[in-house]
């Protein structure tokens, strides 16, 4: 997995830039911006840009449609401390069949580009809970914007095994979003919670890849498995399954240093 492109420049006019302050409650036990907060910043910037382009949830919901994140890849060099200010730059980066693609670069006020991400999104029929063709909605996003921040195409993740560890979580009210299912950031939280706190506190997450496969709903119990890749030290694979029927809800891969 290659590092992200530090010299990436999106096409002018298609980039959205949004500034955030890192508040104390958005940091981890080391006082750094948490990975969860960073993911929330990416989601917020993407939603605001979609609205600015005329394809936000306010427009799609009127047609009984919604956006759903299908895949996310995040690369991190470091995480800033509480009190820092950062800017998320994001832009549409093309399409792949039913997927609308979006890239991100995140930098501090001094210009240090410390994180990058790419993502694939689906337009979902809210009644049928199935994807629809995206062409009618992507006229404002028709041009790919600059060179990719991570290697393309976004690969499918391998099927996770049983895992060496498994933890169970109950879907809480706070885990739900406007689509009335578990928000994509909560899946990242479950992946991280699958590790012992000492492991996370003594290491840095360099890479996160998540593939979202099915919905989790209020009151359900999920099981998150966690297994190291022995052939590549520092790499782990993760699976998230619904307890009731064993349905695979998401799979992930992480890289730590």
For the chain, domain boundaries: 16-141, 165-256
Question: For the structural domain made of 16-141, what CATH number should be given?
Answer: 3.10.129.10
Cβ partners under 8 Å of residue 247, min gap 6: 214, 241
Residue 226's H or E segment, with its range, is: strand 221-228
Identify whether the C-beta of residue 86 lies closer than 8 Å to the C-beta of residue 80: yes
Separation between Cα atoms, residue 144 and residue 148, nearest integer Å: 9
The reported pTM is 0.91
Q: Dihedral through CA 8, CA 74, CA 85, CA 16, nearest 10?
A: 50
Residue tagged 């690969």 (tokens): 155
Q: What was the pLDDT predicted at 162? A: 61
Residues of the chain with pLDDT under 50: 1-3, 6-7
Domain 165-256 has CATH 1.10.3720.10: no
């Amino acid at each position: 997995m290659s590092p992200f492109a530090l010299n990436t420049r999106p096409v002018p006019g298609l980039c959205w830039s949004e500034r955030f302050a890192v508040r104390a409650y958005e940091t981890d036990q080391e006082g750094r911006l948490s990975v969860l907060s960073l993911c929330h910043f990416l989601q917020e910037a993407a939603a605001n840009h979609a609205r600015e382009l005329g394809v936000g949830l306010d427009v799609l919901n009127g047609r009984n449609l919604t956006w759903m994140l299908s895949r996310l890849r995040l690369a991190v060099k470091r995480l800033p401390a509480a009190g820092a200010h950062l800017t998320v730059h994001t832009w549409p980066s093309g399409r792949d069949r039913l997927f609308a693609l979006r890239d991100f670069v995140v930098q501090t006020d001094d210009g240090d580009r410390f994180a990058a991400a790419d993502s694939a999104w689906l337009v979902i029929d809210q009644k049928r809970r199935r994807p629809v063709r995206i062409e009618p909605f992507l006229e404002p996003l028709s041009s790919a914007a600059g060179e990719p921040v991570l290697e393309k195409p976004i690969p499918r993740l391998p099927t996770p095994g049983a895992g060496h560890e498994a933890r169970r979580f109950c879907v809480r009210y706070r885990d739900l979003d406007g689509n009335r299912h578990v928000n994509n950031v909560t899946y990242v939280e479950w992946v991280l919670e699958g590790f012992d706190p000492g492991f996370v506190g003594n290491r840095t997450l360099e890479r996160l890849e998540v593939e979202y496969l099915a919905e989790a709903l209020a009151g359900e119990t999920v099981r998150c498995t966690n297994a190291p890749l022995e052939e590549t030290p520092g790499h782990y694979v993760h699976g998230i399954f619904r307890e009731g029927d064993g349905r695979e809800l998401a799979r992930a891969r992480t890289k730590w240093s």
